[in-house]
Every structure is written in structure tokens, then in C-alpha cells.
């Protein structure tokens, strides 16, 4: 008896430019060196050599990281001869934040459910009752 495998169906995201942008942005943000580069560019435009200075990697490796950021649309690179200045482009980060924000409703629902459950637990807890002797002691006044 011959088994026939079911066809594998892939979602075609190639036709969705927003999905491609998100893929590139999240890939770019997945590396700590690239995130550090973006943080430094948040303070202003820098030369590639200035960006590379704090890293213990080659200038060529930093340039490759910058190219990933450029392809993701997170960095704009301007060349004047051999000098290359980079600046931050925040728009794609906003697009990623909007995408992530879709899940805030899920988390808010989870927090609301947790609050309800904690309320139910609190309602079921036995209330402390003061003993009759303790109440009597508090309500009595000393003789003068």
C-alpha cells in the first residue's frame, strides 16, 4: 500500500510588502550589535567609523550590520566620496510597534481574567473574626 503525503501549503507573504518589511525589521532588531547601532544613531547621525568605534569587531563587520539596517529601512546612509554618514529612520520601528500592539488586547484580556480570578479567591477567603473576648476587651472602658 502506497502512502500519499498531503500537500504542504505555505502562506505566500511575498505579495505582502508590509509582511516583508516586518520580516526585515524584526530580523534587523534580532541582533544586539544592530540594536546598539540604532541606539547610538538615536542621538544623531554618525560616520560609519564613529559607529564602529565602541565595538570589538572589524569595520567590515559593522558595515555588514549597517547594510542589514539599511535594507530594513531603519538606517539611511549618505555617501560623500569615501565618507559614509548614517542616520536613524524610525518609521519602520513604528510599523513593528503597531504590529505588536495588536497583541495588547490579548494581554489586557488575560490581565482582566486574572483580576476576576483573584477577586473570586479573595471572596472565598474566610474573614477573620474577632473573638468575643477581644471584642469585649476593646469595647469596655476602664473604671475611673
**CATH number for the domain harbouring residue 37:** 1.10.10.10
Q: What pLDDT is stored for residue 98 in this prediction?
A: 87
Q: Would residue 23 count as lying in a domain?
A: yes
pLDDT at 143: 58
**What pLDDT is recorded for position 9?**
45
Model pTM score: 0.63
Pairing of strands 83-88, 75-80: antiparallel
Would residue 104 count as lying in a domain? Answer: no
Count: domains in the chain: 1
Low-confidence ranges of the chain (pLDDT < 50): 9, 13
Task: Give me the sign of the Cα torsion angle 59, 61, 67, 69.
Answer: negative
- Domain span including residue 75: 17-94
Q: Among residues 93, 75, 90, 106, which one has the least CA distance to residue 22?
A: 93
Amino acid at each position: 500500500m502506497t502512502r500519499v503525503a498531503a500537500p504542504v501549503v505555505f502562506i505566500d507573504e511575498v505579495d505582502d510588502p508590509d509582511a516583508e518589511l516586518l520580516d526585515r525589521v524584526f530580523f534587523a532588531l534580532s541582533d544586539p550589535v544592530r540594536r546598539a547601532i540604532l541606539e547610538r544613531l538615536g542621538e544623531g547621525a554618525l560616520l560609519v567609523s564613529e559607529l564602529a568605534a565602541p565595538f570589538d569587531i572589524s569595520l567590515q563587520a559593522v558595515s555588514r550590520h549597517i547594510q542589514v539596517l539599511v535594507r530594513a529601512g531603519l538606517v539611511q546612509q549618505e555617501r560623500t566620496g569615501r565618507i559614509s554618514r548614517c542616520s536613524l529612520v524610525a518609521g519602520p520601528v513604528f510599523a513593528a510597534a503597531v504590529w505588536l500592539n495588536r497583541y495588547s488586547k490579548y494581554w489586557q484580556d488575560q490581565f482582566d481574567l486574572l483580576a476576576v480570578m483573584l477577586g473570586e479567591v479573595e471572596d472565598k477567603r474566610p474573614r477573620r473574626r474577632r473573638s468575643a473576648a477581644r471584642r469585649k476587651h476593646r469595647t469596655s472602658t476602664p473604671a475611673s
